[in-house]
Structures are given as C-alpha cells and as structure tokens.
Chains A and B, each alone.
Chain A
Amino acid sequence: MINTSLKELSAQLVSKKISSVELTQTFLDRIKGLNPKLNAFITIDENKSLAQAKAADALIASGKAGPLTGIPVAQKDIFCAEGWLSTCGSKMLHNFVSPYDAHVIEQFNRSGAVNLGKTNMDEFAMGSSNETSYFGKVKNPWDLDAVPGGSSGGSAAAVAARLCPAATGTDTGGSIRQPAALNGITGIKPTYGVVSRYGMIAFASSLDQGGPMAKSAEDCALLLNVMAGFDARDSTSLEREKEDYGRDLDQPLKGLRIGLPKEYFAAGLSADVAQAIEAALAEYRKLGAQTVDISLPNSKLAVPVYYVLAPAEASSNLARFDGVRYGYRAPEYTDLADMYGKTRAQGFGAEVKRRIMIGTYVLSAGYYDAYYLKAQKLRRLIAQDFTNAFAQCDMIMGPTSPTTAFNLGEKSDDPVSMYLSDIYTIAVNLAGLPGMSIPAGFGANGRPVGLQIIGNYFSEAKMLNVAHQYQMATDWHTRLPPLGEGLGVRG
C-alpha cells in the first residue's frame, strides 16, 4: 500500500478495497514508527486526520469522490491550516495555531484529501539542508548521516520513506527541487503565480511558489490539479483557465528538443552526478528526444542576485514578527523597542537573522541602487537568457544539485558554501519559470541524484509528460531507502 500510486489508491478507495480511515491509520502508524529516526514531521494530530478520513469515506460512499478524496497528504509547515500548529519551523511561531486555512489547504480540504500532519522545514524556508529548523534537523532516509536538503526536506524525507503518499512543498530558490533530488522523489515548482500564496507564510514574495512532492510525475499531476488555480486574495495569483495537468502524460517524446546549458555541466559538478545525468539524457534520446547545446550566460549571477533580492524581501516580510499579535514574545523587556529587539533576537534562528540583516542593509539609504536595484536589473538579464534558450529548445535539462546529499553539519558553519548548493535551481525562481526534479540514479555514495527539467512559462503539463515518459522507461522513482526493516519500507 505504501508504494501504490495515488491513482491506484483512489481506485481502491472507490471500490471499497480499503477505506480512507485504514489508509490514514497505516501512514500514521508508519510516522509513529519512523519519525523518531527522521524528524520529518513536526506535528501530527491523529484525531483530526482520522476525522477527515471518516468524512472522506462518507463522501466516497455518497458517490461524490474526486481523485484525491480520502488520500492522506502531508503539508509543509509553511502552510497555515486552521486549528493546526503552523510554525514555519521557527521558535517565533512555535505556539501559533492558525485561525485560518491557506488557499492550498482549502483546496485540499475541498477535494476531500486528508491532512496527515505538518512536515519539518528550514526556519521560514531559509536553508538548503533542513538543519535550521527550531524543531531539529531532518535526516535523509537514504543515509541518516546525510541532509535531506531544504527547505522542504521534511516533506521530501517523508515521501521518500513512505511516511505519506504525497506532500506539499514550497520553492523560493530550489526548495522543492533540491530536496526532491536529494531524497530520490519527484517534485515540481510551478510557474510563479499558478499556485496561490495566500496563507503560505511569506519568505520572498516575488519568488515563493508552492508545489507538490510525490513518488512520481503522475502523482504530482493529480496534486497540482488541486493546488493550482486563481485566488483573488493573492494579488500575484494568475487568472487562467483551470487545466488538467495530467492530460499529456502519455504523449510520446519523439521530436522533443532538450536544451543542455553548458554552464550546468561545468566545473563544480561532481563526476558521479554528471554520469547519472548523462545516462538519463541517453534514455531520453532512446525515447525519441534530441539534445541541443545551449547557453545561459548569466547563470553565474543567479546566486549573488538571489542573495540580495530574497533577503531584501525577507527583511520586509518578517518585520511582522514583533511579538505583538501572535507568536513568541520575549518574557522580559524594558520598553517597546526592547521588546521588539529581544523578541526577534530570541525568536529567530541564526540563518534567519543573517538574512534579515543582509536584507536590511541592501535596502538601507545609500545602498539601495548598488544592491537591490542592480540585482533587479540582473534578474531581467537572467530571465532573458531563458527566453533566448527556449527559442532553440522545448525543455532544458541538467542536474538539480551539483552533488548528492552532503553530510549533516558539513556546511553549517559556512553559509556561502551552503548557498552555492542551489546554484542550478535559483535562476528558475528569478525568471518565474516552472521546474521539476525527478530521480535519475544514485551517486557513488548510494545517495540519490535528481534530473532537473525546466520548462517555459505554463508548460507544467508538458513537463509532467516529459517526466512521466522517463519514469515509464526507468525505475529510479520506485526505489526505496534502506531503512525500516520490519516496518515494511522494503516490502
């Protein structure tokens, strides 16, 4: 049951072969058994989940089931869910029980999906390794000494270890794709504006985008069908007709032009990752695709530009955490200014404080033009590179991450080195394009390798088709991590 596709699970629910209560209980039991090893979940609430499962069973019995009715889905703790702790991985919100639902949560509730719990994440989604959560590090189920990637590492580890059939993530600079790659699962970051950010705790508003993480592209298509859609409460939500992201899954790939950016295959890419990506590209050629050499000349600027724009937006967004209306407040203070300063010093972790301070600096008088404005201009050049590239190809492919998962603690004391682990994913966020990562083999250390697929704006259905065809021809996405003897992971 734990390795069954969402489509098949749905069929089994509708045919009454299983009930949603049974399915939900199975995953809750797995969480209880394996979460002490992985720390992938921050919050579970068995009663709430089972009540939703019971309601889903009633909906199925009445013949009104949709594709996700009764399916348990884990939610990244960045999404506010009414009545649930919604902490964003921070001490600042460690006691925040949301009084409302994010748009994405509303959509899942409407579909009859079951909220299986809230997954661990880097504090305020700031991190590439999932080591900055107030609730402790998440571990990679493929190797407990390795990071799961960040910031959606809790969701990725949970899906990889089959603690849930699917989960949500958010991607500001690669936070769906990088942990998907490092955990051997599939994740898609949609075009900016396709999934509403309402109720998604903001990090960098012009970059943040929610998306699904699951075992396969086919599963991701079903999830994206629920998550995507216009929402008037998010001023950047795009007014587009509802589409079926799974409509093209079975289309053949003959004639597909795959662009290979030379900058993504240069120095810094580890040999074993390069080898796995080359093998994946060879498989695509077998499927009828052709590869084209392209260039994204400004891609080396993506990391510097991101680390100006994202902290700038974060410094503004996180100004709301002041201990007045919700969340943590320092217990002792002398006056209002002291309360703000101490609350924020005690409530935020080191990485969040670093980024707020960088953001404050680049927006301060005298430095705005040199940093923030300059970065915005370079952002346009980076986006233009992709426009030029898509004149020569239909999809862009390359590695998601330059290496497989690194060891816990390996980069903790060196933020700049940590930032460079997102070198292949960040430009996609700056341009607002859709991108995804699919499992494509293993490195020399037995840790997963992810293939990144980048599409043109609104090409999610095509990307999912491109990913699905590869997954029909290979079995990397079905491989299970070697933990859980006696817990059914291998079974």
Chain B
Amino acid sequence: MSLNLADVKRIAHLARIAVEEDEMPGYLQQLSNILNLVEEMQAVDTTGIEPMAHAQDVVLRLRNDVATEIDRHAAYQAVAPQVEADLYLVPKVIE
C-alpha cells in the first residue's frame, strides 16, 4: 500500500498535526513503509473470525448514581496554559 502526498496531507489534517511542505516527502516514505509492513495481514483469510477488541471479556460496571469525587476544579485548572474566570481560554471560534 503506497500513499501519495495528498493522502499525507489529508491524514495530517485529520490528526490535527501541522506538517510543513518540506516534511511531506519524509512522512510519505515512512508511513508507506509502515503500511507495507502491515500489508502482510491481508494474506490471511479471517472469514468467520470474531474480532477481539480486548484481552479479557470486560463488562462495563455500573455504579450508584452518586457523586463521589470532591471538587478539584482549582487544582486541575492550575496546570492549564490559559484560564480566566474559571474558564479555559482558547482562540475565538465565532466572531
């Protein structure tokens, strides 16, 4: 499986990673090599095999509908890049 530069641009956009034009050929080569490695999977017939998402048969546990956590708002916001009035600040989205 070989990618092209347009694929790399699309992937970078979906991954929200800014990639400079001059970095594109390097990513193209490396991502194509990795996809060639995983291509080996396609040779095996997996008809009728159940996919395995987890090593154990995990069942989501239910808990009582009560608040158990204490308010740690200040501690969690203390490590944020930018906050104001108890809110996380990001660039303006809507004018």
A→B interface (CB under 8 Å): 95-97, 99-100, 192-193, 206-207, 232, 235-236, 238, 298, 300-301, 303-305, 307-308, 315, 319, 322-329, 333-342, 344-345, 348, 353-354, 356-358, 360-362, 364, 370-371, 373-381, 383, 415-416, 419, 430-433
Asked, given contacts A206-B53, A381-B46, whether A323 binds B37 with beta carbons under 8 Å apart, the answer is no
| Interfacial chain A residues near B92, Cβ < 8 Å | 335
**10 pairs, A vs B, C-beta closer than 8 Å:** A300-B40, A322-B16, A333-B91, A335-B93, A357-B17, A364-B11, A364-B14, A374-B42, A378-B41, A416-B33
Q: Which of A193, A236, A329, A336 contacts B81 (CB 8 A)?
A: A329
| Interfacial chain A residues near B12, Cβ < 8 Å | 357
Are the CB atoms of B17 and A192 closer together than 8 Å? no
Asked, given contacts A193-B56, A381-B46, whether A304 binds B38 with beta carbons under 8 Å apart, the answer is yes
> How does the 8 Å CB contact mask read for B69-93 relative to A, with 1 for contact and 0 for none?
0001001101111100000101111
Q: How long is the Cα–Cα vector from A308 to B1 in the complex, in angstroms?
A: 14
Least Cβ–Cβ distance between B49 and chain A, in angstroms: 4
Q: How long is the Cα–Cα vector from A94 to B81 in the complex, in angstroms?
A: 12
The residue of chain B having its C-beta at the shortest distance from the C-beta of A362 within the complex is: B38
Least Cβ–Cβ distance between A86 and chain B, in angstroms: 10
Count how many chain B residues have C-beta atoms less than 8 Å from C-beta atoms of the other chain: 50
> How does the 8 Å CB contact mask read for B53-67 relative to A, with 1 for contact and 0 for none?
111101011010000
Are the CB atoms of A354 and B52 closer together than 8 Å? no
Are the CB atoms of A354 and B90 closer together than 8 Å? no
Are the CB atoms of B15 and A376 closer together than 8 Å? no
Are the CB atoms of B76 and A373 closer together than 8 Å? no
Are the CB atoms of B16 and A432 closer together than 8 Å? no
Are the CB atoms of B56 and A432 closer together than 8 Å? yes
Q: Is B34 in contact with chain A by the CB < 8 A criterion?
A: yes
Are the CB atoms of A360 and B52 closer together than 8 Å? no
| Interfacial chain B residues near A378, Cβ < 8 Å | 41, 44, 46, 49
| Interfacial chain A residues near B76, Cβ < 8 Å | 99, 325-326
Are the CB atoms of A323 and B81 closer together than 8 Å? yes
| Interfacial chain B residues near A433, Cβ < 8 Å | 55
| Interfacial chain A residues near B19, Cβ < 8 Å | 345
The residue of chain A having its C-beta at the shortest distance from the C-beta of B79 within the complex is: A326
Asked, given contacts A324-B81, A381-B44, A432-B56, whether A360 binds B34 with beta carbons under 8 Å apart, the answer is no
| Interfacial chain B residues near A430, Cβ < 8 Å | 55
| Interfacial chain A residues near B37, Cβ < 8 Å | 303-304, 307, 416, 419
Q: Is B50 in contact with chain A by the CB < 8 A criterion?
A: yes
Q: Is B6 in contact with chain A by the CB < 8 A criterion?
A: no
